[in-house]
Amino acid sequence: MKHAPGGVLRGLGSVAAQVRCRRGCRRTCERALVGVLLAGALAAAVLGLGLHVNLSASAPRGLYRAIPGTPTRGALVAACVSVEAAALGRARGYLGAGPCVGGVQPVIKPVVALTGDVVEPGPEAIIVNGQPLPGSSSAEVDSLGLSLPHAVWGRHVVGADQFWLVSTRVPNSWDSRYLGPFSRSQVRAVAWPVWTWSGAGSEASR
């Protein structure tokens, strides 16, 4: 059976196109694999250097180095939430994967109260030593419309090796308003900014 020359040429062109497509797909896959490997290597390097990436608006977004030491008032710290809070944070998407208990990332928040301070959390504000913190009211629901457990309202004297962590940068920061005080064992390190970019704004998740 004879084939028209045009049909043969079209057939050869189709085969060539398929070969080019396979080669192009292979190159795309190779590039994607290299990208994944580089991302994994970068993540390993970040963790190995004691660095944390913060994408929450409750602290300037960017890269932070974990510095050992005792947290002071106003310092940013990287802290792990409790087991119960970790389960809630992961289920609702507040926290990504990380090295803390429950497999979640630490939160990066400023210290607003230390041992011996008097803290009075309430729906309108958190009051520290008689001074209300601006922008520290508590929400009843999160951005998904789900009910938010909050710290016990009323007067608290901060215990030994305890810290209250509250961010006033954004109105929906998931911090001591909802989680209560953090113990010294929960505070992993002081978070020192290495590289940050502009940061305050509403968060899609807490």
Q: How far apart are CA 132 and CA 191, in angstroms?
A: 25
Q: Is the dihedral of CA 150, 77, 132, 162 positive or negative?
A: positive
3-state percent breakdown (helix, strand, coil) of the chain, nearest 5: 30, 25, 45
User: Is residue 38 located within the same domain as residue 117?
Assistant: no
Structure tokens at 130: 């008689």
57 plus 146 within the same structural domain? yes
Q: Which domain-ending residue is among 48, 65, 83?
A: 48
Q: How far, CA to CA in Å, does 166 sit from each of 8, 58, 126, 137?
A: 74, 9, 9, 11
Whether residue 75 sits in one domain with residue 39: no
The enclosing domain of 107 has a CATH number of 2.10.109.10
Phi-psi bin for 102: left (phi > 0), alpha (psi -120 to 50), beta?
left
Q: What is the pTM of this model?
A: 0.72
Q: What is the spatial distance between Cα 122 and Cα 155, in angstroms, rounded to a whole number?
A: 9
pLDDT at site 109: 95
Domain count for the chain, please give it: 2
Pick from 33, 48, 63: which residue ends a domain?
Answer: 48
Same domain, 10 and 57: no
Tell me the mean pLDDT in the region 8-14.
45
| 147-202 residue pLDDT tens | 999 999 999 999 999 999 999 888 889 999 999 999 999 999 999 989 988 654 43
* Digit-coded pLDDT (tens) for 61-81: 889 998 988 899 999 999 999
Q: Is residue 205 part of a domain?
A: no
Domain holding 70, by residue range, is: 51-196
Please tell me whether residues 103 and 182 are part of one structural domain. Answer: yes
